[in-house]
Structure 1
Amino acid sequence: NKKQKFEEIDVERVNIVEKDGKLKMVISNAERQHPGAVDGKIIPREGGRPAGMIFFNERGDEVGGLTFRGDTGEGQYNMLTFDKFRGDQTIAFQHLESKDGDYFAGLSFNDENITTTDRIAKIEAIKKLPDEAARKAAQAEMREKGEFLVNRLAIGKGRNKSAFISLSDAKGKERIAISVAADGTPKINFLDEAGKVTYSLPEASKADKKQ
């Protein structure tokens, strides 16, 4: 019987495959979740992945997913992502709350300055460095070059009920910040590479500048 009907099923993981067995989607709990793959290589991950759905294309590469994590002491999030071809998430619709109090609900667009496989290779090489200081320096260099996944555009709202648009450069450094506060006050800030505000709209009054 090729078609069966069930009223209820308890299952830890479901693999959706084509007739030839090629994996197209995984619905899984956290323990059995697929780690993801790109260019035929499994993506190494520390601490596993959350429960949800992971999507795959004809090449067998991960192309996005719907994942969620509750309050585990590390914060919580719900996220629907779409990946760049042979790359990492380029579009994310998300709700995030970190253990440090950070909050974001909205849409973000990300960029990659190196391929996912090259980034993974660099990260794995850094892990093998014997000195902690050397590892931190190498990670800082990657971050400065924008070799991690960098956010270019975020549209959303914050915990303080503000609505905002954030535009960043290729290294992920915010350069324009547009916001409307909960009380209705609008503002536009232009920032330099160091994150210092160089110009604002509306301009600060003379009294504000003296403070």
Structure 2
Amino acid sequence: TAQQSVRTGQIEIDPYLGEIERIRYHAKSGTVDLRYQIVNHIVFQGPVESPLVRQMIRHALTEEDPSTRLYAAKVLQAIAQKEQNLDVELLGTLEQVLRKESNPGVRLMAVRALQSVPINEAIRNALTRVLLYDRNPALRIQAFDSLTEPLEPIETQEPLLRSVQADTSSYIRHRANDLLKKIEVEKSRALLTSREG
């Protein structure tokens, strides 16, 4: 009702009647249908695994208020760091954030969340897009560090490293050149080893 608290699972709603949109009487059943809006604040707390919690996080990432989007991205980063994993829907949401978000702070949190989970092809593609096309050097550096971390085989990184040798960020340029030199040393060693053997 509009004057009593409503409890559904872990959510308690204390509704304030806003506007009645429709009222209908059903003579056969003797019931009245009311459609009304309520104005209220809802507090919800649930486990990270809860589908409702994850749905609310995804929704928060699309809110108009940039601070809400930033906090949602920070929550995802914290979840990713703790669990070392994110489900497919949350990963997809982060990819959308990287493509469409105008706030660089929110995009940075999305990149950091992706850094916290094992890299797969979709994550690699999202981070590569950030590295190659984002204007923000901090985001590009974060993406670069994720894509060149030691867990990735260095020889698979060569095409990417060559593509960022002229990046506007001196950090990225220097690191790319250092890693390319390391690749050349590894290739030379492999060639010498194969000739000796």
TM-score w.r.t. the length of structure 2 is: 0.30
**Greater strand proportion:** 1
Whichever of the two has the greater Rg, that structure is: 2
**Greater helix proportion:** 2
TM-score w.r.t. the length of structure 1 is: 0.29
